[in-house]
Amino acid sequence: MSDFFTSSVLVATFASAIRLATPYLLASLGETIGQRSGVLNLGVDGVMLLSAFFSYWTVLQTGNLWLAVVVALAVGIIMGVLYGIITVFFEATQGISGIGIFIFGLGFSDLMFRQQVGTPKPVQRLPSVDIPVLADIPYIGEPLFQRSLLTYLAFALVPLTFLLLNKTTFGLNIRSVGENPQAADSLGVSVERTRFAAILIGNSLAGLAGAALVLQLGIFQPNLTQGMGFIAVALVYFGAWRPLGVMGGALLYGLVNATVLQWKSLGIIPVSISDLAGMAPAIVTIGALILLARRVNAPAALTKPFSRH
Amino acid sequence: MRKKLRIISSLIAVLGVLALGATACGSDDSSSGGGGALTMAIVAPSASDDLAFSQSMVDSVNALDRDITVQVTDGTFIVEDAAAAIRGYAEDGVDVIVAHGTQFGASLAEIAPDFPDTTFVWGTATDTQGLDNVFAYAPAADEGGYVNGVVAAAISETGIIGVVGPVEAGDAVAYINGFVTAAEAGGATVNVTYTGSFGDVALAAEAAEAHLANNADVLTGTAQMVVGAVGVASDAGVPWFGTQSNQTSLDPDLVVASQVYHWEFALEEMLQLRDNGTKGGQTFEINLANGGLVIEFNDGFELSDDVKAAADAAIAGIIDGSIDTGA
C-alpha cells in the first residue's frame, strides 16, 4: 500500500481520474439540462457513439482535430433535433424513444466503422495544453492544468451550467417547464421551445463527450462507450440534478476507477479478486444513489410529455 | 396524435435494430463460390477486424485451402444474439459453424443436438461437452506468452513490465501466465491488471497509464480492448508485445512481436475428419510445435542478435519440451 502513497503514483491516479471523468462530465451536464426541463434522454450513449465515430473518421480523413470536435458537436445537434421532434413535438414516450436512439447510434456507428474504416487505425490524440504557471504547481499542476482543451471545457461548463440554470431567464424557464409545465405555459413560457432548446444543448454536450472520449484514446472500436452514456444518466441522479453534484459524481466515478486500476497494477488488489474489484465504481455509485434518492426529488415533470389538450 | 407518436417511437427503434442487423450480417463474404462448396459460418463476439481474437478466426478460415463459402456474424457480444445466429445458420443448412467464444458453450449444448448433420466448432474450449458433432479448440497461448516474456525482460531497462488483461479466463490468462513466468525468470517484475472487460478501450488505456506511472517501460496485453493500451504505449514510446493477431499496424515502430493464432491448422484437421464422416467429438490445440501459433517479429523494431537468439531458444525449448511455460 505504501507504493500507492508516493507523489508520482498519486498524481498519475488523479490525472487518470480526470481523464476518465471528462466524457462522463460532459454528457452528464448535458443530461442535467435536459432533465431539468423534464426530458429524460436514454439515448445519450447512442449519441456519444455516433459523435465518437464521426469525430474519429474526420481525424482519419483530414487530420484536423478541431474539425473533428466541430463534427461531433454537429452530430450531437442533429441527434438533438431528431430527439426533440420525437419527444417534444410528437410527445413520444421518452424512455422508449431514448432506447431507440441508443440502439440506432450503436448500430449505425458500428456499421459506418465497418464500411468506412474496418481494422482499427490509430489517429492523433488531443494534445495536452499546459496552463502557464498553474501547470508547474507541484502535485496538482500535472493532473489539473496539463490537460486537453476539452477537459478544461468540461470543467468550465460546471459553473456555466449552474449560472445558466439559476441566474438566467432561460434557466428559470427550463426549471419551470421541468417542474410544472402547465403553470409555465399559462405564464407564457413556450414549453415546447424551452424543452427543445434544452434537448439541443444536452445532445451537443453528449456529442462533445463522444469526441472527448475518442480523441483522448486516439482510436475507435464498435461500442467504444461500453455504456458510458447510461452511467452519465445515472450520474445526473447521483448529482441531484445540480452541476456541482454531477461533477462530484463524475470525479468520484473516475477516481474510484483510477484507484482500482492503480491498486491492481501495484498488486494491492490480488488478481484473484480483480474482477470483483472492477465493480467498485458501480457499487459506490449505486450506494450513493440509494442514499441520495430519499433526500432529493427529481424534476416533477421529468419524463412527462407536455400537451395543452 | 398518440398513434403518430407511437409509430415514430417504433420507427426509431426499428431503425436501430435494422442498423444493428445490417452490421451483424453485413460482413458476409466468400472465399470462393460454386455449387459444391463447403459452407462455413463464423459467429464471433467482437468485430471481425479487431486485430485480436475475432480477426484471428476470420483470417484463419479465409486462409483454408478449400472450396468454401464463408459467412460471418460478428459483434455478438450478447450471448443470446450469438445463439440466435448459430441456430439460424444451422437451420439454413450451413455445413460447419464456428462458435468463436468460450461463452457460447451453453448455447451450443442446446443447439448442437438439434442439428446432428451440422458440425459445430467451438472455442476456446478444452472439451466438447460430450457432443459428437462439436469440435473444440484452444490455443496454447502460454507458449507465445513465454516467448514474448523472454524478449520483454531482455529489452526492459527499468525491469518493470506492465500487462493489461481483460478477465482472468481462457487464453488471456494462459498468455499472461506464460508471459509472467518468462519475464520473471528473466529478472523482471511484472505487474498484471485485469480490467474486467473485453471491450472497454478507455479502461485498458488507463490501465496502461497506471503501469507507466509505476515505471513500466514495456507493455503487453490481450483481447480486443488493448488498442487503447497500445495508443498509450505509442505516446510514451514504450515497446508493445501483441497476441492473437499481428498488431504491428497499430504502431509499426513500437510493436516488437505478436503471437499470431493460425487456427487453420486445427480447422483443416477438423474438416478432414468431417470429410471422412466424423462430425465432432474431438479437441484440438494450436501450439508452436504444430505451427498453429507463430511468433511474428516486427522488422521495424530492432532487436539485438542476442535477444533474437534467446527468443529462438525459447521457441525451440517449448517445442522440444525442455521449457515449462508455467501454465
pLDDT tens per residue across all 327 residues of chain B: 555 555 555 555 555 555 555 454 444 444 444 446 899 999 999 888 888 889 999 999 999 999 999 999 988 878 999 999 999 999 999 999 999 998 899 999 999 999 999 999 998 998 999 999 999 999 999 999 999 999 999 999 999 999 999 988 888 999 999 999 999 999 999 999 999 888 899 999 999 999 999 999 999 999 889 999 999 999 999 999 999 999 999 999 999 999 999 999 999 999 999 999 999 999 999 999 999 999 999 999 999 999 999 999 999 999 999 999 987
A138 occurs within a structural domain: no
C-beta atoms surrounding B312 within 10 Å: 13
Residue A122 sits at the chain B interface (C-beta within 8 Å): yes
Q: Which CATH number fits domain B141-260+291-320: 3.90.550.10, 3.40.50.2300, 3.30.70.1380, 1.10.606.20?
A: 3.40.50.2300
Helix axes B264-275, B53-63, angle to 10 degrees: 50
Chain B partners within 8 Å of A267 (Cβ): 191
Cα–Cα separations (whole angstroms), residue A206 to A30, A41, A225, A228: 6, 10, 12, 11
Q: Mean pLDDT for chain A?
A: 92
Count structural domains, chain A. 1
If we measure between CA atoms, which residue out of B56, B92, B54 comes closest to residue B73?
B54
C-alpha count within 13 angstroms, C-beta hemisphere, residue B63: 15
Residue of B9, B17, B77 with shortest CB distance to A86: B9
Please state the pTM of the whole predicted model. Answer: 0.87
Residue with cell 479487431: B50
Mapped onto helix, strand or coil, the DSSP state of residue A256 is helix
Residue of A104, A219, A223 with shortest CB distance to B199: A223
Residue B15: per-residue pLDDT = 57
Buried b (16+ CB within 10 A) or exposed e, A179-190: bbbeebbeeebe
Q: Are the beta carbons of B32 and B69 closer than 8 angstroms?
A: yes
Q: State which amino acid sits at residue B114.
A: D
Domain range annotation of chain B: 2-139+263-286, 141-260+291-320
A148 occurs within a structural domain: no
Q: What's the farthest any 2 CA atoms get from each other in chain B? A: 77
CB contact under 8 A, A102 and B16: yes
Q: Are the beta carbons of B174 and B140 closer than 8 angstroms?
A: yes
Q: State which amino acid sits at residue A245.
A: G
Query: Which structural domain range is residue A210 located in?
Result: 7-128+158-293
Cα A51 off chain centre by = 12
Q: Which CATH number applies to B2-139+263-286? A: 3.40.50.2300
Left (φ > 0), alpha (ψ -120 to 50) or beta: where does B277 sit? Answer: left
Task: Indicate whether this complex's ipTM tops 0.90.
Answer: no
Cell numbers found for residue A77: 445537434
Q: Which residues contact B147 (CB under 8 A, 6 or more apart)?
A: B182, B257, B259, B288, B295, B311, B314, B315, B318
Separation between Cα atoms, residue B108 and residue B87, nearest integer Å = 9
DSSP-derived letter for residue B52 is S
A307 occurs within a structural domain: no
Chain A partners within 8 Å of B226 (Cβ): none
Q: Are the beta carbons of A161 and A36 closer than 8 angstroms?
A: no
A66 occurs within a structural domain: yes
